[in-house]
A and B are shown apart, each in its own frame.
Chain A
Amino acid sequence: MDSEFSPLASPAPQGRAQRREFLKRLAVVASSSALLADLPWWTPLRAEPVGNSPADRVRLGLIGAGTRGSFLLANLLQTPGVEIAALCDDYPPHLEAALAKVKGARGFSDHRQMLDMPDLDGVLIAVPLFLHAPICLDAFAAGKHVFCEKSLAYSIAECQAIADAHRGSGKVFQIGHQRMFSPVFLRALQLVRDGRIGPITQMRAYWHRNGNWRNPVPASGPDPSPFPSLERRLNWRLYLDYSRGLMTELASHHIQVANWFLDAHPVSCAGYGSINYWKDGREVYDNVNVVYRYANGTQVVYDSLISNRFYGMEVQIMGPEGTIEAETGKIFSENPPPAPGIVQLINGIEHGFFSAVPIGGPSWVPELKKDTKGSYLVQDQSTDDGTAISMAAFANSIRANKPIPGMMEQACRSGVSVLMGHNAMEQQQEIAWPEGFRE
């Protein structure tokens, strides 16, 4: 790892004091790094580390205390200068569990009541996709800063509505694409910009799981309103009224990375999806395949399925000089330096003794995947995935009362792209980037 990034190559520490030290180092890196200076959303991290005075404190509320909301809450509790003042969830078990973790926080079942709190600086929204836009718009109308989980919204029109509402608000907006703050992805971007893999000629991303993607549903529970059943409330990702399935809940992360690395939005996309395994009443596809086309001729190939996890998840950034596998955190050269002569000699002797004769004769070699080990992008593989740093960036932006540049653009590009992918599969035709969309 280059020295420029070495201060980031350690896990985000637990505990506020240690995390304060971590952020202090981060501020130095963010100020001095030429690469980070080009990433506008890192601007808030150049701020002086927060002190302990009440004036430095940012009061936040969390809307949605389910799985993702709980993860955000755990990170917020470690972020210096942040006070969790309010928690909101209309599902009582989630709200009670969250309130038990935060002393003194007020609990709400209706986000509008929470937004009426005058001393609340901002909110984090971690609710089902179809509620992102209504709650974001309510929050901007109430004059709050907003952190919204990915994907941006349920429809392209809602993405536009959020972007428009934010433009006039002067408030901070941040999207939950934590890879934008991940040291591994930043290092990958640096290598791409340094020309280590040559120009990007293709990107390929996939996210494979093997499971039904369902949450357990208790036999009976509290009133599921506004959902018609508890099953739909707890498994909202499986129903088209609330989610766009694999595209919005998983693909949005990798499509954001593609748009970011290619510094563009796709001009069009085409794809297919189906339910070919989990035929259990769900409405969203259990396998999706979408190809995105960019103006410079680059294609991004994405697929996801939940009936086989052999390949797991990956983002492959390919160029004529090399390949970066960003999730694994490795770079592979197309022409790696040869092994030492004595190693080649020993390998040759070994192969002479033990290798089978190729079936097509000595000149035929099967073009299988290269078996090179590559090298790691950062030394410490347990480095923060970006969530801890992104929480600090959000808090710092609110403290400075300055919107984060470039953030809405990233949110819109990924949010609209995955909805294009969904529409392409639904309509079985090529879908173009919406003309006139204002990021």
Chain B
Amino acid sequence: MKDIIIPGRRIARELWVLAGCFAAAVCVNVYAILRFHTAWKELITTLHITLAVAAVFYAVLALVRALVFGLMRVFRGKVA
């Protein structure tokens, strides 16, 4: 079986993307707290929901990135 090698730079980049998704989810939570006048402690008490939202963001972003990567490969192939 062929070993798959993921470079450290790639792992670091994915972690940054994940952190960005988490930060976006926290922003959504902050917006929801302001929008519905609920308690700030929800930033902590709904952390599990924030993590789930972050995961959804990451999955959506992964789909978009896969799409862009695929299209770029197609175009590069045609140019070559």
List residues of chain A with CB under 8 Å of any chain B CB. 338, 340-346
Report how many residues on chain B are interfacial, defined by Cβ distance under 8 Å.
Answer: 16
Q: Is the CB of B35 within 8 A of A345?
A: yes
- Chain B residues 7-42 with CB under 8 Å of chain A are 28-29, 31-38, 42
| Set of chain A residues within 8 Å of B31, measured between Cβ atoms | 345
Nearest residue, chain A, Cβ from B26:
A342
Give complex CA distance A250, B22 in Å.
58
Give, as a whole number of angstroms, the nearest-CB distance from A181 to chain B: 38
| Cross-chain contact of B50 among A338, A342, A344 (Cβ < 8 A) | A342
| Set of chain A residues within 8 Å of B37, measured between Cβ atoms | 341
Q: Is the interface of A mostly helix, strand, loop or mixed?
A: helix
Q: Is the interface of B mostly helix, strand, loop or mixed?
A: helix
Give complex CA distance A342, B45 in Å.
11
| Cross-chain contact of A343 among B34, B35, B49 (Cβ < 8 A) | B49
List residues of chain B with CB under 8 Å of any chain A CB. 28-29, 31-38, 42, 45-46, 49-50, 53
| Cross-chain contact of A340 among B28, B34, B38 (Cβ < 8 A) | B38
Nearest residue, chain A, Cβ from B50:
A342
Give complex CA distance A235, B32 in Å.
63
Give complex CA distance A343, B46 in Å.
9
Q: Is the CB of A345 within 8 A of B38?
A: no
Nearest residue, chain A, Cβ from B36:
A341
| Set of chain B residues within 8 Å of A344, measured between Cβ atoms | 32, 36, 38
Give, as a whole number of angstroms, the nearest-CB distance from B77 to chain A: 37
Q: Is the CB of A340 within 8 A of B42?
A: yes
Give, as a whole number of angstroms, the nearest-CB distance from B54 to chain A: 12
Give complex CA distance A342, B33 in Å.
7
Q: Is the CB of B50 within 8 A of A340?
A: no
Give complex CA distance A345, B28 in Å.
9
Give complex CA distance A341, B31 in Å.
9
List 8 A-B pairs, Cβ < 8 Å: A338-B38, A340-B38, A342-B42, A342-B53, A344-B32, A344-B36, A344-B38, A346-B53
| Set of chain A residues within 8 Å of B45, measured between Cβ atoms | 340
| Set of chain A residues within 8 Å of B46, measured between Cβ atoms | 340-343
